[in-house]
Chains A and B, each alone.
Chain A
Amino acid sequence: MTSTDQDLVCVSNLTKRFGDLEVLKGIDFSVRAGEVVVIVGPSGSGKTTLLRSLNFLEMPTSGSVSVCGVEAVFEGGKCISPHAARLFRDIRSKTAMVFQSFNLFPHMTALQNVIEGLVSVKNVKRPEAADEGKRLLTLMGLMDKIDVYPSRLSGGQKQRVAIARSLAMKPEVMLFDEPTSALDPELRGEVLAVMRDIAKSGTTMIVVTHEMQFARDIADQVVFMDNGVIVETNPPERFFGASENMRVRAFLNGIA
């Protein structure tokens, strides 16, 4: 796959193995600026591993990842591009990740969580960072939770704080790994709602989810993964309406 100017994220021939287990078997995929890409597929198909390879929480075994023109090439489980450490930091600063299990910092209030990156990575002055943090938490509907510690928040509130923490870094692309899977069904809506808002604002997003209705509504492209490969990439109307692929059909029937 060749990278075009509009590609914000471009992954080519990416493989990842854990010991003898090959989890990603040559992934090619790209995301254009402003696009919302939703990745779906059966459990164990490699969705999380792919997402975590984009910001090097997992080190790819081979292939390349490029974000905003910054490319890291891997071979034999190592990055062979020069200045790998700086490349990783560079790409991480352009991406932000929202985790299934929130991973909020438990010793910090909601506001402190949101501004931590601004203060300790971007060296923004605390009062300025606090203004921005309050603005984001208000946007998430959490203005009354600014000084509350994570242990006092519901799952849905925690995830919205985590989303605000990611947004604060003004990333070029937001990565979401099943952001609603750890939530009770009645709390999912509030998180999906803020994600819809973010998508509408033109933010580039890559979302792994099992929420098919959500995928249908906000995806520009749906990527279907199975067994370490991308089986199909299509706009949602095509994907949900008329996919001819047997595995896709079986997956969608299984879920419905």
Chain B
Amino acid sequence: MDLFLRALPLFAMALPITLFLGTSSFIFGSVLGMLVALMRLSGVTLLRWGAFAYVSIFRGTPLLVQILLVYFGLPRLGIVLNPLASAILALTLFSASYLSENFRSGILAVEKGQWEAAATLGMSRIKTFTRIIMPQALRIATPTVGSRLIALMKDTSLASTVTVVELTRVAEQVGAASFRYLDMFLMAGVIYWTINQLLTVLQMIIEDRLSRHM
């Protein structure tokens, strides 16, 4: 109990870091992922290939390897990032590869007739995409994108390997100091689980709202 109370403030400080890692890389990853999805669907062969290669690389290698490569590799190219920035960059690149596929299948699942109806109204491709296709594609993609966010929240624990003081790192440190690893990792586990339960509820609410008229 005593240890628990002593560890609590440390966990409390680490929680915002974990949330920040997860949400910021989700937001950047979504933007990048949408871009990659559009490249993959574009008529330009070079862009299509670029997107294909991107997904193949970042989805085909372990996140841990990517984090370590960013953290230890970029300084060799003269780019020095602090641990937090390295972790966010790696998580963004990684999640974008999955999110791009979620977006792409959402876009492809929108009926062809929607493009055609917009075209016959004289809408430009950009207008058609932003006003007609995107809203429907996002609704279709919500479940898979939500799962990706939840997975990403858990993946942030790997940032501990590059010394980012997030939840897992705190559990490790306090565990090492007190020899009570089991208790500390249990605590960390409970916190991750709680975050993700909240996200699950949020996802359900969003899905419900989006599908009200469908």
A residues lining the B interface (CB < 8 Å): 55, 57, 89, 92-93, 95-97, 99, 101, 103-107, 116-117, 120-121, 149-152, 165-166, 169
Known A105-B114, A106-B136, A120-B127; contact A55-B213, beta-carbon cutoff 8 A: no
Question: Least Cβ distance of B7 to chain A in Å?
Answer: 48
Q: Is the interface of B mostly helix, strand, loop or mixed?
A: helix
> Within 8 Å of chain A (Cβ to Cβ): is B117?
yes
In angstroms, Cα B127 to Cα A254, docked, is: 45
> Quick one: given A99-B113, A99-B116, A107-B135, are A151 and B121 in contact (CB under 8 Å)?
no
12 CB contacts below 8 A, A to B, read: A55-B119, A55-B120, A97-B116, A99-B113, A101-B113, A103-B116, A106-B214, A107-B135, A117-B123, A120-B127, A121-B121, A150-B213
**CB atoms of A120 and B120 under 8 A apart:** no
> With A and B bound together, what is the CA distance between A43 and B128 in angstroms?
31
Inter-chain residue pair count (beta carbon < 8 A): 60
- Other-chain contact of A57, B114, B116, B131 (Cβ < 8 Å): B116
By beta carbon, the residue of chain B nearest A109 is B213
Residue from the list A96, A104, A150, A151 in contact with B120, Cβ < 8 A: A96
Interface centre among B119, B120, B213, B214 (most CB of A within 10 A): B120
- Let me know if B111 is at the binding interface, CB within 8 A: yes
Contact A107 B119 (CB under 8 A): no
A105 to chain B: closest CB distance in Å? 6
A-B interface, 5 closest residue pairs, ranked by CB to CB distance from nearest: A117-B121, A149-B213, A103-B113, A103-B117, A97-B120
User: Which residues in B have their C-beta under 8 angstroms from that of A149?
Assistant: 213
For B117, the chain A residues whose CB sits under 8 A away are: 97, 99, 103-105
Complex: chain B residue closest to A92, CB-CB: B122
Q: For residue A165, which residues in chain B have a CB less than 8 angstroms away from its CB?
A: 121
Q: Is B59 an interface residue (CB 8 A)?
A: no
Most buried by A among B122, B123, B127, B131: B122
- Which residues between 40 and 63 of chain B lie within 8 Å of chain A, taking CB atoms? none
Question: How far is A166 from B116 in the complex, measured between Cα atoms in Å?
Answer: 13
Does B64 touch A at the CB level, under 8 Å? Answer: no
Contact (A116, B114) CB under 8 Å given A106-B213, A149-B213: no
A95: shortest Cβ distance to chain B, in Å?
A: 7
Closest residue of chain A to B112 (Cβ to Cβ) is A103
**Complex Cα–Cα for A101 and B116 (A):** 11
CB of A120 within 8 A of CB of B131, answer: yes
Contacts of A89 in B (CB 8 A): 122
A117 to B132, Cβ gap below 8 A? no
* Contacts known (A57-B116, A107-B139, A151-B213); A117 close to B111, Cβ less than 8 A: no
* Shortest Cβ distance from residue B90 to the other chain A in the assembled complex, whole angstroms: 35
CA–CA, A255 to B18, complex, Å?
Answer: 70
Check B113 against A169 for contact (C-beta < 8 Å). no
* A164 to B214 Cα, complex, angstroms: 21
List the B residue with the shortest CB-CB distance to A121: B122
* B residues near A99, Cβ cutoff 8 Å: 113, 116-117
Told that A92-B122, A97-B120, A169-B122 touch, could you supply 5 new A-B pairs with CB distance under 8 A? A57-B120, A99-B116, A107-B135, A107-B213, A121-B122
Chain B residues with CB below 8 A from A92, complex form: 119-122
Q: How far is the CA of A96 from the CA of B117 in the complex (A)?
A: 9
CB distance from A203 to the nearest CB of B (A): 16
The answer to whether A105 and B132 touch (CB under 8 A), given A55-B120, A121-B121, is yes
* A48 CB to nearest chain B CB (Å): 12
Q: Report the Cα distance A149→B139, complex, angstroms.
A: 16
The smallest C-beta distance from B213 to any residue of chain A, in angstroms, reads: 4
User: Are B120 and A95 closer than 8 Å at their CB atoms?
Assistant: yes
A1 to B189, CA, bound (A): 78
Residues of A near B111 (CB, < 8 A) are: 103
- In the complex, are the beta carbons of A116 and B131 less than 8 A apart? yes
| Interchain CA distance A121-B132 in the complex, whole Å | 13
Smallest beta-carbon distance B39→chain A, Å: 21
Chain A positions within 8 Å of B132 at CB level = 105, 116
B127 to A, closest residue via Cβ: A120
Tell whether A117 pairs with B122 under 8 Å between CB atoms, given A106-B136, A107-B139, A151-B214: yes
Closest to A94 in B: B122
Of residues 11 through 29 on chain B, the ones whose CB sits less than 8 Å from some CB of chain A are: none
Chain A residues within an 8 Å CB radius of B214: 106-107, 151
